[in-house]
Each structure stands twice: as structure tokens, then as C-alpha cells.
Copies of this chain bind each other. A is one copy, B any other.
Amino acid sequence: MVSQFPENSAEIEIPDEISGLRMTRQRQEVYRILQLERNHPTANDVFMRVKDRLPNISLATVYNCLEALVQHGIIRQVNFERESSRYCPNLSEHGHFHDAATGVIHDVDFKPGVNLADILNLPPGAVIDDVEITLRGKLVTL
């Protein structure tokens, strides 16, 4: 399905269904915001942006949509400390660098060929399903 909002420069095509999840209007819009806002928005950030197009959407629905998208592996949920969860559409295995000065969160990719077992003393028999790497620090201009 092609978006019905051609006036928006950043056009994103979203099919009716992704990996078995029915893409309702609400889920489409939530997903679209995540594609557009690459700065790891919170549920509330998404809620405020999505209201531009769906003024009647509720925060609970945004939470529902985000959860459904996460559950179906369409987006990722990221947690920093005890802050609100943030969401990103970058599905590739990656970590996050949290700039303490600006609060900006940068995606950090793994260098190719890196194996966690090479750098960590894992407990014997550990089978890893999910990895989460978060760095905190600052960006120094050299």
C-alpha cells in the first residue's frame, strides 16, 4: 500500500501486513514516526508526533502498537537506566552510545567478525539470545 500523504517529503511505504502482524492505521503511523524520528523516541514522544495525523489516538494505543511491533521483531525496544523505554527501527545487531552532555543517543555497530565469546568469559553452556551494549560518555572534538 502506498501512503496517502504524498505531500510529505519523507515518504515511507508500509505494507498491510508485516511478519504476520496486521498493520492497522495506528500501527502504520506509529511505525512511520519511528522511521522518521531516528533519535530513539519514547512512547510519549511517538504519541505526540502521531497525533498530527491521528488526533484521536490514545497513549495506551501507542503503547499497544509499540509492543506489537516489538513482539513481531519489526522494531526494537531500548532501555537506558531506569528511564522511559525508547524505540528504534534499526534491526541490525547494534549497541548505543549515550552522550551525557547532549543526551543524544548514537547507534554503535559491531565491527565485522566479532564474537562475544572471544571477549567475555561466558558461563559454560551459555546460549545467547539477545545482547545489549550501552555506553555512556561524551564526544570530544579533537
* A residues whose Cβ falls under 8 Å from a Cβ of B: 79, 81-82, 85, 95, 97, 100, 106, 108-111, 114, 116, 118-142
Contact = CB atoms under 8 A, between A and B. Distances in A.
A136 B135 CA distance: 18
A119 B94 CA distance: 11
Contacts of A135: 116, 120, 122, 126, 128, 130-132
19 contacts: A108-B120, A108-B121, A110-B121, A111-B118, A111-B120, A119-B119, A120-B135, A122-B135, A123-B139, A126-B138, A126-B139, A127-B137, A131-B135, A131-B136, A132-B133, A132-B134, A132-B136, A133-B133, A133-B134
Contact of A106 (B81, B111, B123, B134): B123
Contact of A133 (B111, B120, B136): B120
Contacts of A139: 123-127
Given A130-B135, A135-B131, A141 B125 contact: yes
